[in-house]
Amino acid sequence: QQPVQSPQAVILREGEDAVINCSSSKALYSVHWYRQKHGEAPVFLMILLKGGEQKGHEKISASFNEKKQQSSLYLTASQLSYSGTYFCGTVSLESNTGKLIFGQGTTLQVKP
Amino acid sequence: NAGVMQNPRHLVRRRGQEARLRCSPMKGHSHVYWYRQLPEEGLKFMVYLQKENIIDESGMPKERFSAEFPKEGPSILRIQQVVRGDSAAYFCASSPPGTGQFFGPGTRLTVL
The tens place of each residue's pLDDT in chain B, 112 residues long, gives 579 999 999 999 999 999 999 999 998 888 999 999 998 788 999 999 998 899 999 999 999 999 999 988 999 999 999 999 999 999 999 988 767 889 999 999 999 9
A57-62 long-range contacts (CB < 8 A, ≥24 apart) are A62/A31, A62/A33
Dmax (CA) for chain B in angstroms is 39
The rounded distance, in Å, linking the Cα atoms of A64 and A54 is: 6
Q: What average pLDDT does range A23-27 have in this prediction?
A: 92
pLDDT at A81 over 90: yes
A48 within 8 A of A31, measured Cβ to Cβ:
yes
Contacts of A55 in chain B (CB under 8 A): none
Nearest to B42 among A40, A44, A102 (CB): A102
A93 within 8 A of A26, measured Cβ to Cβ:
yes
The rounded distance, in Å, linking the Cα atoms of B64 and B75 is: 17
Query: How confident is the model at residue B41, as a pLDDT?
Result: 84
Query: How confident is the model at residue A55, as a pLDDT?
Result: 65
Query: How confident is the model at residue A93, as a pLDDT?
Result: 85
Q: What average pLDDT does range A89-99 have in this prediction?
A: 83
Beta bridge partners of B109: B11, B88
B residues 69-98 near A, CB within 8 Å? 91, 98
Q: Is B44 on the interface with A (CB under 8 A)?
A: yes
The rounded distance, in Å, linking the Cα atoms of A10 and A18 is: 8
